[in-house]
Structure formats: C-alpha cells, structure tokens
Structure 1
Amino acid sequence: MHSLGVVAQVVIALGIFNVWVLRYGKPTAYRGGSARNMREEFAAYGLSYGVMCLIGGLKIALAIALVVGIWVPVLVMPAAIGMAVLMVGAIGMHVKAGDPPLKALPATCMLALSIVAAVL
C-alpha cells in the first residue's frame, strides 16, 4: 500500500509541473472557459494575476513537498491535504465558469490522488 501512495505523490508532482511549467503558456482541452493559457484561464474565472501566481506557487511548493515526502514522510500528509484543498477550488472554478465536466477531469483526478497520498 505504501508504494501506491508514493506513486500517487509522483503522479501529482509530475502533473503539477506539467501544467504549471511545461504547459503554462499553451492551450489545452482542459483550460477553463475559452482560455488559451494559464493567465487567460484565471481571468476567465475572475481571478487576478496575483492570485494566479499565489496558487501556482502553492501548487509547485506542495508538489515539491510530495516528492521530498518520499524520503521525509512527515511532509506527505500536509502537502496532500493542501493539494486536495486547491483541487477542490479548481473544480469549483470550473463549475463557476460553466465548463463542461470534462474540463474538471484533471483536477478531479488530482483530488483523488491527493486523497490516496494522504491516506496511504
């Protein structure tokens, strides 16, 4: 069971780095509203650039904590819970924007993985 938790931690971290670093300025099928990049997506939700930077910084920091948590297990629970809270917020923003459920799928998967990481 511990191995499943570690896999969840790694998948979450890779997913966050993919979205917030590699695909930050690129369009994806999962962007909220009709946004083509991260900044437009947060604008579609009615959120400022500063909020985007705060959320992005928190997600990257929590992803790093999940990876470090492989060797320092005390970090996993708070990082996973923090990530879960942010993913609930992301799902809420998709709902607020009137997005189809498919656009919230990545956040929903990350929420599920965060719960797995926190529990295991």
Structure 2
Amino acid sequence: MEFIEITEILIKLVVGLSILNVWLINRDKSTPWRGGNASSMQEEFAAYGLSKNAMMIVGTLKCLFAVLILISIYYKAVEYTGAIGIALLMLGAIVMHFKINDPIKKSVPAAIFLLLSLAIIFI
C-alpha cells in the first residue's frame, strides 16, 4: 500500500469516527465548539433557530454519510456520496455559526472536516 492510500484511509477513519463520536456519544455533552452558549446538541440547534426535528434529520444524515465514508475504505463506490454529503453539511454548520455571530474558533472543527471531506473527494 502506498503513502497516498494510507493517508486517504486515515482521513476517512478520522472523519467517519469523529462524526459518529459527536452525534452518537457526545451529543448531550458540552464542548467549546457548540454554537451560542449551548451545552448540548439540542440547545445548539435551538440557538441556530432550528427545531429538534431538524437536529434529527441533520444527525441522521451526518451519521449516514460518516458510515458511507467508513464503508468506502473497502467499497469505493460510496466514497463521493459520503464525502460530498459531509462537506455540504459542514458548510451548513459554518454558515450557522456565522448566522448567530459565533467567534471564528467555533467554526474550526466544521472547517477542518469540510477540508478533510474535500481531500477525500480529490485524492
């Protein structure tokens, strides 16, 4: 296996597992990256002016796309769907942070995952 293949697998593992961690394990925990003064995912979506249903839809999509990215390590056919989906959702997250005038630092994780998703697409 060459360096680029190993790098791509590592990026996919970081993106896929990190997204699943945020949405399945740490959804109800406070982090310095949450929008506004939110201490949970539901509070964060409320800060953005979005409903619990919107949170469930976004969470389901993020987990689906994260799983597709992980599956794409073995089955390349789903790679673009997963990576484009995460990239678009991360772009949306950045927009939401700007919408509520969050400090730039709160957008950093979304920006990193946007860039990593783009790397998956273009590697």
Sort the TM-score into its range (normalised by shorter chain): over 0.9
Identity of aligned pairs, percent?
Answer: 40
Structure with more contact order per residue of length (Cα contacts < 8 Å, sep ≥ 6): 1
Correspondences of 1:18-29 after superposition (within 5 Å): 18-29=21-32
Q: Distance in 2 between matches of 1:35 and 1:115?
A: 28
Deviation at 1:76, TM superposition (A): 0.6
Q: Distance in 1 between matches of 2:9 and 2:92?
A: 24
1:57 to 40, 44, 60: 60
2:82 matched to 1:85? no
Instruction: State the aligned residue count.
Output: 120
Deviation at 1:2, TM superposition (A): 2.2
Q: Distance in 1 between matches of 2:40 and 2:72?
A: 30
CA offsets 1:69-117 (integer angstroms, 9 cap, x no match): 1110111112101110000000000000100011011100000100011
Q: Distance in 2 between matches of 1:90 and 1:68?
A: 24
2:35 to 32, 38, 53: 32
Instruction: Flag as ranges the 4+ runs of structure 1 deviating above 6 A.
Output: none
Query: Given residue 104 of structure 1, which amino acid in structure 2 is its aligned partner?
Result: S
1:6 counterpart SS class: helix
Q: Which runs of 5+ in 2 are unaligned?
A: none
| 1:103 matched residue in structure 2 | 106
TM-score (norm 2): 0.95
2:39 counterpart SS class: coil
TM-score (norm 1): 0.97
| 2:6 matched residue in structure 1 | 3
Q: Distance in 2 between matches of 1:97 and 1:32?
A: 8
Q: Distance in 1 between matches of 2:80 and 2:45?
A: 27
RMSD: 0.7
